[in-house]
Amino acid sequence: MDGVGTIVDTSEIQLDPARALPRDWFARPAVEVARDLLGAILVSMVGGELVAGVLVEVEAYGGPEDPASHAARYRNGPARVMWGPPGHAYVYRAYGVYPCCNIVTDPDGTAGAVLLRAAMPLAGHAIMRQRRERSRHAGYRLAEHRLASGPGALAQAFGIMLDHHGLPIDRPPFWIQSGSSPQRVASTPRIGISRGQEFLWRFVIPGHPAVSGRTPRLVTE
């Protein structure tokens, strides 16, 4: 895929929590962290089963000034974790159906988070497939690039559940480590929101098959 390419050389990857991005790496504005997460590797050891994927789509959410952010509506409850400390998981159930995983960003005391929307499978493909197809009709087989495409699909494929809310993301059961920076990054409005649509805070690797949904108003950076 010219322009998208193989983001990382899988033969040289060492999936090791010792290589996890430190929590203070996330102590920056959500928009900055989101852009830098493209090409990074999400690794999960939930239930002792190793799965990994390259992040190809994320969304940034700010504090009370961002009308699409949970921080604009809630200060208590699960959203409280958005105020820090950074480098922790903010997991909530979308539409009462499936968990979505965010990583808390910004300095402690400032609300922000990045929603992990899609990843290209890198390791543990069979485990991802088993988790994703468990509730599907027999005989229906997902394409590899769809296994973790979409925030709910990503959480399911990586075994991320509500029980993981608030956990640090620099050690098992899951962590993020450096990959390779993509050749191109594009930004669009965030998906599924009715407010804050003027912010181009959804970041994708343009043309990558694992990116979920449509990409309106694509702006290449």
- Hey, where are the domains in the chain? 10-220
Q: Mind listing the pLDDT tens digit for each residue in 166-182?
A: 999 999 999 999 999 99
Tell me, what's the pLDDT at 25? 98
Tell me the backbone φ, ψ of residue 145, rounded to 5 degrees.
-75, -5
pLDDT-derived band of residue 2, with 50, 70 and 90 as boundaries?
very low
Q: How confident is the model at residue 11 (pLDDT cuts 50, 70, 90)?
A: low
pLDDT at position 97 is 78
104/95 Cα distance (integer angstroms):
21
Least confident of 12-21, 67-76, 139-148: 67-76
Q: Which of 47, 32, 50, 53 is nearest to 101 (CA)?
A: 53
CA distance 105 to 89: 10
pLDDT tens for 111-146 read: 999 999 999 999 999 999 999 987 665 456 889 999
Report DSSP letters for the chain, one per residue: -TTT--SS-GGG----GGGBPPGGGG-S-HHHHHHHHTT-EEEE-GGG--EEEEEEEEEEE-STT-TTSGGGT-SSGGGGGGGS-SSBEEEEEETTTEEEEEEE-SSTTS--EEEEEEEEEEE-HHHHHHHHHTTSPTT----GGGTTBSHHHHHHHTT--GGGTT-BSEETTEEEE-----S--EEEPPSS-SS-TTS--EEE-TT-TT--S--TT-EE-
Average pLDDT over residues 75-104: 89
> How far is the first Cα of the chain from the last one, in angstroms, to the nearest whole number?
19
Give the per-residue pLDDT at 94. 83
Cβ-count burial 32-61 (b if 16+ within 10 Å, e if not) = ebbbbbbbbbbbbbbeebebbbbbbbbbbb
Provide the b/e sequence for 116-136 (b: ≥16 CB within 10 Å): bbbbbbbbbeebbbebbeeee
Higher pLDDT among residues 195 and 174, named by residue: 174
Return phi, psi of residue 87, to 5°: 80, 25
Q: What architecture (CATH level 2) is domain 10-220?
A: Roll (3.10)
Residues written for the chain? 221
The whole-model pTM stands at: 0.90
What's residue 4's pLDDT? Answer: 41
Q: Read off the pLDDT of each residue in 198-219 and give the average, rounded to a whole number.
A: 83
Q: What are phi and psi of 81, to 5 degrees?
A: -65, -20
Instruction: Give the Cβ contact number of residue 111 at 10 Å.
Output: 26
Looking at residue 36, what is its pLDDT? 98
Percent of the chain residues past pLDDT 90, beyond the cut: 68
Which of the given ranges, 44-48, 74-78, 136-140, 215-219, has the highest pLDDT on average?
44-48
> 3 pLDDT exceeds 50?
no
Weakest-pLDDT range from 53-67, 78-92, 166-180, 202-216: 202-216
Q: What is the pLDDT of residue 215?
A: 60
Residue found under tokens 């040289």: 12
